[in-house]
A = this chain, B = another copy of it.
Amino acid sequence: MDTQKELRLRCWIDIDGERFFGPGRAQLLHHIDKEGSISKAAKAMGMSYKKAWSMVDDMNQKGQKPYVNLHKGGNKGGGAELTETGKMVLEFFQKLMVELNSTVKKKEKEFLDLI
């Protein structure tokens, strides 16, 4: 029987022992950046608006500066865009993941052949 083996990796940031920022929030920031609205970003991720909004609110509250600017007006609170901090956090996380994944990729075959 053919089994499928995969070497997996996850990286995230805890604040005071609680998960604060990881792949899910990075993806949400990415979609907000692309779509310019929380509701469209939520839709793109198959997530409720309420859940996406509360993730944004948590990042804006706990980050040392807000990550997302919310524009008032229109249905569901108008548009949204990443702040400079939000952009830098997203970019840093994406670059770190690329670097970590490249280490994993280099080792993957040799390791999985042992397993």
The residue from B8, B16, B96, B104 contacting A3, defined by CB atoms under 8 A apart: B16
Cα–Cα, bound, A106→B115 (Å): 29
Q: Report yes or no: B20 in contact with A4, Cβ–Cβ below 8 A.
A: no
The residue from B8, B20, B96, B103 contacting A14, defined by CB atoms under 8 A apart: B8
Cα–Cα, bound, A3→B8 (Å): 29
Copies in the complex: 2
Given A11-B104, A64-B115, A103-B100; A4-B17 close (CB under 8 Å): yes
- The count of residues in chain A whose C-beta lies closer than 8 Å to any C-beta of chain B is 36
Smallest beta-carbon distance A100→chain B, Å: 6
Given A63-B115, A114-B89, A115-B89; A9-B11 close (CB under 8 Å): yes
Q: Report yes or no: B11 in contact with A6, Cβ–Cβ below 8 A.
A: no
The residue from B9, B62, B115 contacting A21, defined by CB atoms under 8 A apart: B115
Kindly report which residue of chain B lies nearest to residue A96, judged by CB atoms: B107
Cα–Cα, bound, A64→B111 (Å): 12
Cα–Cα, bound, A112→B16 (Å): 13
